[in-house]
Amino acid sequence: MRFFLLVFALSCPGLTSLSAQQTHEAQLAQQYYINGEYEKAAVLYEKLSRSSRANNYYFNRYISCLFELGDYARAEKVIKKALKEQPDKVQLYVTYGQLLERQNMPDKARQQYEKAIRNLPPNSNAVIQLAQAFTSQMLYDQAIRTYEKGMDMLGPDDRVYYNMADLYRRQGTMDKAIENYLNSLALNPRRQNTLQAIFQRYFSEADFEELKAQLYDRIQKEPEADVYPGFLAWVFVKEKNYKAAFRQMKALDRRLGDYDYNIFNLGQTALQDEDYEAALQIFEYLADKGPQSPSYVEAQRLALKTKGLLAYDTYPPDTVALQDLEREYDAFLEEFGLTPRTAHIAMELADLQAYRLNKLDAGIETLKKVVEMPNLSPKTLGKAKIALGDLYLIKGEIWEATLLYSQVDKAFEEDPLGHEARFKNARLFYYNGDFEWAQTQLAALKASTSKLIANDALELSIFITDNLGLDTTAEALSMYAHADLLMFQNRLDEAEALLNKLLNDYPNHALDDDVLYLQAQIDVKRGDIHKAIQSLNTIVEKYGDGIRADNALFMMAELYEQKLKEPEKARELYEKLFIEYSDSTFAVEARKRFRKGEKEM
């Protein structure tokens, strides 16, 4: 392929050294040709081809002009003369064949094509030029035979296999295309990225099955060849079959001993795609290698994180597994110490302690150690302070929470981290019933560079505006906000009791759909997914025009997708959301998840 590009460059008039006169004539001839003035173009191209005999471009343009003029007798005379003068330029037989095709003599044309292949000299340039001549006329069979004869004379060549594969692909003979692409890969493993792009773009699912079959066959026949397992691993990654990809990479790692980076990246991809079992296998494999592995610390950390995600996804929660996980976090911090490098590990431990094991005080103590750590990066410190503020809020220590949020807000005024802290402060004022001050904070956040924070701020602001002033004391909204705080603090029974009181004290209130939405969140925290869905479904059916309808649809879809493992039902709800609530802040994400589910079916 590289040689062909060189040949093409040498044949292009703009890349040869021309006199000023020749350059002018070449430009003029090109303009005549574009304008369809073939007689004028033919005169100039004939002159240029005589003065630049090595330049195929001018000769071919000259013949093309004669074809367009229908001057076949003159064209035949010129071609025959060129063949007599340059018998090794076998692509001229193809030009002659095209002349005969134009005169409706296909049998004689085929004879010229056969003569071209028969007279092919053992020269790589000649092979490539003849094959390209056939290819330009879509004579793919002849081009393939040219390449095959060239390899018979000159031996295997990765460029030739690659070009043959392209021809088979154009013909739709995909098994042959795959075979030749893999032949090219075997001789030149650096082609792997190029071939991956080709397969990604042109090949169907059935073609990928054929690719896997051929790769398996080659791995069995050539067990020492390293390139095939790597390529097969890529196919499995594309299919999101991370365990199978890991098997191939693990085999390469054991043979070559330098695959940690690739395996670690595979683990991260599996984790991102929520294949937690595969991710855990991968990270534990790297962790088991010990400190000599460059991925040792990160693999340990992500193995812990993945175990947590697996445990958190279990309903009801597996308390024993969570306690074991806490011990593993403690062991990790014991081994590596609490340092700026392991601060995020401690933060994950605090989350586990406070939110999963109901050890609020232990979580607070863990985060306090992080916040007090010297030499901690400002961003990590800010994240730790926000997390600690959340735990103080759960404990009911409002002043400590707002102090921490305010510190982060001040330190990162124009940063999404500061916007997050400001939103949490605004939400804290909302919880406390100070709605006007909350609105002041929220107003500044609607233009946040963080889309998530901006959407959350807008939603809370609209909620307060819609419900503020419905009665002179705003008592109903204050009761609801306090119930919202109680739920955040995991005081679920108290939150539910307050919501029931709100419904009794203020029947048929505008907050009725909001009460159902908060009740659904309480039920999710308790693990009663079906009860939560009942409340959410009532919102959609009874309050479809309210501000909670799109939230309820999205939450229901997530529950079906992630908790109940009913993807079809989830897709149905995502579709309903982005069609019927196209202005919703959830619409884009709902469409994305709908399409993702469609691809995975």
- Whether pLDDT at 590 is above 50: yes
CA–CA gap between residue 373 and residue 343 (Å, rounded): 9
Give residue 15's pLDDT band: very low, low, confident or very high (50, 70, 90). very low
> How many residues in total does the chain contain?
601
Give residue 8's pLDDT band: very low, low, confident or very high (50, 70, 90). very low
Residue 155 falls inside a structural domain: no
CA–CA gap between residue 194 and residue 188 (Å, rounded): 11
> How many distinct structural domains can be found in the chain?
1
Q: Could you tell me the CA-to-CA distances from 586 to 165, 344, 557, 569, 589 in Å, in that order?
A: 45, 30, 11, 17, 5
Tell me the two tokens of residue 56: 């195929």
Per residue in 472-531, pLDDT (tens digit) is 568 899 999 999 999 998 899 999 999 999 999 999 888 999 999 999 999 998 889 999
The percent of the chain in helix, strand and coil, each rounded to the nearest 5, is: 80, 0, 20
Instruction: Count CB-CB contacts under 10 A for residue 416.
Output: 15
Domain that holds residue 576: 469-600
Residue 529 falls inside a structural domain: yes
CA–CA gap between residue 302 and residue 545 (Å, rounded): 43
- Whether pLDDT at 79 is above 60: yes
Nearest to 303 by CA among 261, 348, 259, 347: 348
Mean pLDDT over the full length of the chain: 90
Mean pLDDT computed over 524-548: 93
Tell me the two tokens of residue 180: 């030749």
Least confident of 109-118, 208-217, 313-322: 313-322
Helices 2-11 and 124-136 pack at an angle, to 10 degrees, of: 80
Residue 570 falls inside a structural domain: yes
φ, ψ for residue 578, nearest 5 deg: -75, -15
The pLDDT of residue 598 is: 62
What's the number of CA atoms in the CB half-sphere (13 Å) around residue 539?
28
Nearest to 513 by CA among 485, 488, 480, 487: 480
| pTM greater than 0.75 | no
Per residue in 374-429, pLDDT (tens digit) is 999 999 999 999 999 999 999 999 999 999 999 999 999 889 999 999 999 999 99
- Whether pLDDT at 96 is above 80: yes
Residue 582 falls inside a structural domain: yes
Tell me the two tokens of residue 558: 């997530």
The pLDDT of residue 600 is: 61
Nearest to 398 by CA among 371, 369, 430: 430
316 prior amide bond cis, ω within 30: yes
Q: Could you tell me the CA-to-CA distances from 307 to 312, 315, 329, 564, 589 in Å, in that order?
A: 9, 15, 11, 20, 27
The pLDDT of residue 599 is: 59
**Got the DSSP string for 169-234?**
HHHT-HHHHHHHHHHHHHH-GGGHHHHHHHHHHH--HHHHHHHHHHHHHHHHH-TT-SHHHHHHHH
Q: Could you tell me the CA-to-CA distances from 546 to 360, 466, 514 in Å, in that order?
A: 36, 11, 9
More confident residue, 94 or 318: 94
- Whether pLDDT at 354 is above 80: yes
Q: Which residue has the tokens 């790769």?
A: 215
CA–CA gap between residue 77 and residue 46 (Å, rounded): 13
- Whether pLDDT at 287 is above 70: yes
Decide: 62 and 46 in contact? Cβ < 8 Å.
yes
The pLDDT of residue 425 is: 94
Instruction: Name residue 257's amino acid.
Output: G
CA–CA gap between residue 43 and residue 31 (Å, rounded): 13
Tell me the two tokens of residue 285: 């494999």
- Whether pLDDT at 12 is above 50: no
Q: To the nearest 10°, the Cα dihedral for 399, 403, 406, 412?
A: -150
Q: Residue 215, Cα to own-chain centre: how many angstroms?
A: 25
Mean pLDDT computed over 311-324: 80
Least confident of 91-100, 301-310, 462-471: 462-471
- Whether pLDDT at 1 is above 70: no
Mean pLDDT computed over 198-211: 94
CA–CA gap between residue 535 and residue 551 (Å, rounded): 12
Residue 534 falls inside a structural domain: yes
Mean pLDDT computed over 423-437: 92
The pLDDT of residue 259 is: 87
Residue 105 falls inside a structural domain: no
Residue 1 falls inside a structural domain: no
CA–CA gap between residue 359 and residue 351 (Å, rounded): 10
More confident residue, 600 or 333: 333
CA–CA gap between residue 69 and residue 54 (Å, rounded): 25
The pLDDT of residue 293 is: 85
Long-range CB contact pairs, 248-257, < 8 A, 24+ = 250/285, 252/226, 255/226, 256/226
- Whether pLDDT at 9 is above 80: no
Mean pLDDT computed over 240-264: 91
Give residue 469's pLDDT band: very low, low, confident or very high (50, 70, 90). low
Long-range CB contact pairs, 586-589, < 8 A, 24+ = 586/550, 586/551, 586/553, 586/554, 587/550, 589/554
Mean pLDDT computed over 281-305: 91
Tell me the two tokens of residue 133: 């001549």
Q: To the nearest 10°, the Cα dihedral for 212, 213, 217, 218?
A: -40
Q: Which 3 state secondary structure label does DSSP give 119?
A: coil
The pLDDT of residue 7 is: 35
- Which CATH number goes with the domain that contains 473? 1.25.40.10
The pLDDT of residue 452 is: 81
More confident residue, 599 or 143: 143
CA–CA gap between residue 154 and residue 148 (Å, rounded): 10
Q: Could you tell me the CA-to-CA distances from 289 to 57, 286, 311, 312, 563 in Å, in that order?
A: 61, 5, 25, 27, 34
Residue 341 falls inside a structural domain: no
The pLDDT of residue 256 is: 84
- Whether pLDDT at 316 is above 80: no
CA–CA gap between residue 438 and residue 430 (Å, rounded): 6
What is the helix (H) or strand (E) element at residue 309, kind and residue range? helix 296-312
What's the number of CA atoms in the CB half-sphere (13 Å) around residue 387?
28
The pLDDT of residue 597 is: 66
